[in-house]
Amino acid sequence: MKFEDFLMERTEEKKKKIELQEEVDKLQAELDEEKEVNRVLRRALEASPLSLSQQPPLLPPLLPPQVSAFMYIHTYG
């Protein structure tokens, strides 16, 4: 193996490692967002109907509009 080939291989390995780390970071961000949506939905399901009827639910803006609309309609009919 030539020295130039060795250097090229090392550069490609570093590039691949950086790409993989970027993908991991992206997937971690998606997972964190999904966990937050899950937490909000669980809290909404655990809330008593009385407490929901007295005040509007506090839904974070990260919920998709369809989910927010569904929860509002389900709560207030």
pLDDT digits (tens, 9 = 90+) for 2-34: 878 777 888 999 999 999 999 999 999 999 999
pLDDT digits (tens, 9 = 90+) for 50-76: 555 555 555 566 677 777 777 777 776
pTM listed for this prediction: 0.53
Q: How much is the CA Rg of the chain, to the nearest whole Å?
A: 23
pLDDT for residue 57: 54
Q: How many residues does the chain have?
A: 77
pLDDT for residue 22: 98
72 contacts 46 by C-beta, under 8 angstroms: no
